[in-house]
Amino acid sequence: MSVAPSAYGGKFLPQGVADDPEARAAMHEAGLLFRSEAMRALYHVAIQVAGSDAPVLLTGESGTGKELFARLLHTLSNRSGRPFVPVNCGVLTGELFADKFFGHEPGAFTGALRLQKGSFELAQDGTLFLDEVGDIPLSNQVDFLRVLEERTFKRLGGEKDQGFRARIVAATNRLLPEMVRGGRFRADLFYRLNVIPIGLPSLRERPEDIAPLAEYFLWLFGGQYHRPNLSLAADTMTLLLRHSWPGNVRELKNLVERAVLLHKGEGLVKPEDLPLEMRLGIGMEMGCPQNGDGDDLNLDIVVREAETRAMLRAYKAAGGSKQRTAELLGISPRTLRHKLAQYKMKL
């Protein structure tokens, strides 16, 4: 569902941005909303650097909106009428990496029946967004560096040089300097990408944005799922404001969508419409349930609540990594997936 700039008149945008039609249009097109001073400062940085061709490296936890910020940079730039091509580098290795970026000529390898343009070519003179750039295999990093240095590439099986004119905006939740020191990321590639570094704050570092984001997502999904008259109860908002949001804006968005989908009819979204693990994380003291109805004497319920809280705490400590969450809990990733499905938890 696309959002027109006039859809809610800048209701969820900060003063100054909401009053500027061009800025409001750019914010809506990117889907980026905020009230905090931290994000306002980054917005002004985006205005300053958008017109440059220099590479930008976006860092921050998973779910902080790095792709949305990259789209904002693109929208504010003179490349806005050109393609914005996002690529998830975390799922590409070896020949798959080369084919995705370089493309191929017919007959370049078995099954290559026709010409296929890669991301370098598809981006034209627009923006190439490299998500999870820290996951590019070391063996492929040198090929990528060569393109950035020479601004040309060849399709697989091709002999003709193709020009590369796109701007690079890369993003990662990894600590690239540490990876460079550990020999897992090339220093020369890091310095090529890190010309304009921008760090996006986590949602818990900008709590002023929780309420407007929650209201916006409620408005968005209420319209999408034909439930336009929902609103957040005051105690529901209290829970949202007290939650630590290890999954950041993405977690908030998913939670509100779930609440809208599961809500019956119209009216208030109440605390009982929120996931059990969120209510347990807020409503426990000294590790004991406080519901007063005797459920704390039921062993199955006690075990469920204890395991739910343990998984939630481990997920927070792991910074949103499910692999690390399993390690902290001392269980396998498969067991963790089983537990999440068993308790209908969505991390």
Q: In sequence order, what DSSP letters do the residues of 21-47 get, joined into one string?
A: HHHHHHHHHHT----SHHHHHHHHHHH
Residues 255 and 245: their CA atoms lie apart, in Å, by 11
3-state secondary structure of 140: helix
Residues 136 and 95: their CA atoms lie apart, in Å, by 12
Residues 9 and 12: their CA atoms lie apart, in Å, by 8
Domains with residue ranges and CATH for the chain: 36-201 (3.40.50.300), 202-274 (1.10.8.60), 283-347 (1.10.10)
Q: What local confidence, expressed as pLDDT, does residue 8 receive?
A: 39
User: Token pair for residue 101?
Assistant: 């970026």
Instruction: Please list the ranges in the chain whose pLDDT falls under 70.
Output: 1-31, 277, 280-302
Model confidence over 10-27: pLDDT tens digits? Answer: 444 554 454 555 555 555
Model confidence over 151-193: pLDDT tens digits? Answer: 999 999 988 999 999 999 999 999 999 999 999 999 999 999 9
